[in-house]
Structure 1
Amino acid sequence: MGEIPMNQGQCIFCGIVTGALPAATLYEDDATLAFMDINPLADGHCLVIPKAHCEDLLTAGDDVAALVGQTTARVARAVKTALQPDGLNVFQANGVAAGQTVFHLHFHILPRFVDDHFTIQFHGNPTSNREHLATIARRIEQALP
């Protein structure tokens, strides 16, 4: 998604939640909101957010993360049924280095078609060995709450 201009430093997604800014809403409950991306990569590209502001997944409480995850799955299933894409990407970015441009937690749901010519590629490190992977796993495990 491209850079979205902020209105005098305010969060654009909070503006959508309050109704101060327009959005094509497709789902809403007490805690979450889903709406169409205004710069879609494909027909059906939509976003799921918590109504309460939090910058990213890393700052969201477990309860918020769970609710947003449930809504994301629910909306993804509806996109699959309604648009019948060949596949779906569901993704989320945390921080500038990861490509986050709107600093309000959000998940993208992106319908994919075999001939859409849009690629997301991951190129792994073929030099990683089992010992190195185990070392990294231990570091992460020790950081878990």
Structure 2
Amino acid sequence: MTERQPFDLDAYLDGIETRPCFICRCAARDPAFFHHLVYEDADTIIFLSKYPTLQGYCLVCPREHREDLSHDLTKAEYIRLQEMVYVLSRVLKNLFDAERVYVLSLGSRQANSHLHFHVAPLPKGVPLAQQQYHALMAENGVLHIDDEDMAALAQRIRTAFLAELASQNE
């Protein structure tokens, strides 16, 4: 696994409380909130994490601003979003020969309120003490992946995602 770089959590927390919704701004193509897109359709947007702790770490989000999983989505919308999480999980597991794919939903009404799922492949061979929450926490450092490599990574995941999505729909 690539060496992690320190992450300034305090600066990050200061910024997320005052800025607009980064997912809505990313979906609107605001250059100040650029993320490398993996997939998008009328309902969903998937992009690489700007602060990845694992190679291939993505976020899966409803395109519309929704905050509460149990009240802001219909059952059909939830199932569709989970289908995207499932397809992405299969892709990441295969592309990264992952031991496990972590999926969780984070955010709060105070910051990052737009509903989103983190989907991250855990490489084989990571020691137990560096797995699970430790592997996901930016406080333990983030991977520095340059813009060109992020673009190539997004394209690689996108190609596999579209193929897997097509096979799911056959």
Q: CA deviation at 1:120?
A: 3.4
Give the match for residue 111 of structure 1: 121
For structure 2, the 5+ residue unaligned runs are 1-8, 135-170
CA distance in 2, matches of 1:45, 1:69: 16
Give the match for residue 28 of structure 1: 40
1:77 aligns with 2:90: yes
In structure 2, relative to structure 1, the CA distance for the partners of 1:8 and 1:95 (3 Å cut) is closer
CA distance in 2, matches of 1:24, 1:59: 29
Give the match for residue 54 of structure 1: 66
Q: Structure 1 stretches (4+) deviating beyond 2 angstroms? A: 2-9, 93-96, 118-121
Alignment size in residue pairs: 118
Relative to the length of structure 1, the TM-score reads 0.70
Contact 1:92 1:107 (8 Å CA) reproduced: yes
Contact 2:67 2:114 (8 Å CA) reproduced: yes
Give the match for residue 37 of structure 1: 49
Q: What percentage of residue pairs aligned between the two structures are identical?
A: 23
Relative to the length of structure 2, the TM-score reads 0.60
CA distance in 1, matches of 2:20, 2:71: 18
CA distance in 2, matches of 1:6, 1:51: 19
In structure 2, relative to structure 1, the CA distance for the partners of 1:101 and 1:71 (3 Å cut) is same
Tell me the secondary structure at the aligned position of residue 79 of structure 2.
Answer: helix
Contact 1:57 1:94 (8 Å CA) reproduced: no
CA distance in 1, matches of 2:36, 2:17: 19
Tell me the secondary structure at the aligned position of residue 30 of structure 1.
Answer: coil
**Amino acid across the alignment from 1:42:** L
Q: Which has the larger radius of gyration?
A: 1
Alignment of 1:90-101 (within 5 A): 90-93=103-106, 95=108, 101=111
Say which structure is richer in helix. Answer: 2
Contact 1:57 1:105 (8 Å CA) reproduced: yes
**Amino acid across the alignment from 1:76:** S
Contact 1:56 1:94 (8 Å CA) reproduced: no
In structure 2, relative to structure 1, the CA distance for the partners of 1:101 and 1:89 (3 Å cut) is farther
Which of 6, 11, 23 lines up with 1:13 in the alignment?
A: 23
For structure 1, the 5+ residue unaligned runs are 122-145
**CA-atom RMSD in angstroms:** 2.6
Tell me the secondary structure at the aligned position of residue 111 of structure 1.
Answer: strand
Contact 1:26 1:34 (8 Å CA) reproduced: yes
Tell me which of the two structures has the higher relative contact order, counting C-alpha pairs closer than 8 angstroms and 6 or more residues apart: 2
